[in-house]
Amino acid sequence: MSRETWVDRQIREATERGAFEGLGAAGKPLDEAALAQTAGEWAVEWARREGADMTVALPPALALRREREELVASVPSRPSEEAVRAAVEQFNQRLDAAYRRPQEVPPVALAFVDVDRQLARWREAHPSEPAKPAPGAADGPACAAEAGASRSPWWRGGRRRPR
């Protein structure tokens, strides 16, 4: 009396349905080179052959490093300052979330992407387009020195105690 396992039953039912009919490698021996590969080597070879993105298989720290490099490289080709700002802020949020999680090996050791520096790079790549001020920048004075020019420092002229 034989006991059929779940895997054996799935194979038998698939064979009865004809799921294995007409396969290209049916009846051919397995490739010796493929048998000598480890699972990791096979996965990398499969990804190359199929054109799959292996970033998802990287540890989080390495995936973030690659994403940061790709983001910085793609800044000049972004369509607008808003697109640059949104992409950089989204990356910085993901990096912040990675820092807040328990660290894995290798640990995350990346600096946040500076939004202003990337916007300056984008403006250099697109000199003909007018620069748009940051939200809220047009409301106040142009610099901090103008904001406090008419006021004395806080340690001078503060409230005096009544006598």
Predicted confidence (pLDDT) per residue in 97-147, tens digit: 999 999 888 888 999 999 999 999 999 999 875 556 656 555 555 555 555
- Per residue in 5-33, pLDDT (tens digit) is 999 999 999 999 999 888 887 778 877 87
Residue 109 φ then ψ, to 5°:
-140, 70
The better pLDDT of the pair 37, 83 is held by 83
For 46-75, the pLDDT digits (tens) are 889 899 888 888 888 999 999 999 999 999
- Give the residue from 119, 71, 122, 74 showing the smallest Cα distance to 92: 71
**What would the two tokens of residue 31 be?**
């490739």
Three state DSSP letters for 44-105: HHHHHHHCCCHHHHCCHHHHHHHHHHHHHHHHHHCCCHHHHHHHHHHHHHHHHHHHHCCCCC
The SS3 assignment for 33 reads helix
Packed helices 81-100 and 60-74: angle between N→C axes, nearest 10 degrees = 170
Is 0.75 topped by the overall pTM? no
Q: Which residue has the higher pLDDT, 101 or 154?
A: 101
What pLDDT, on the 0 to 100 scale, is given for residue 71? 97
Q: Which pLDDT score, from 0 to 100, does residue 56 have? A: 80
| Token duo for residue 154 | 């806080």
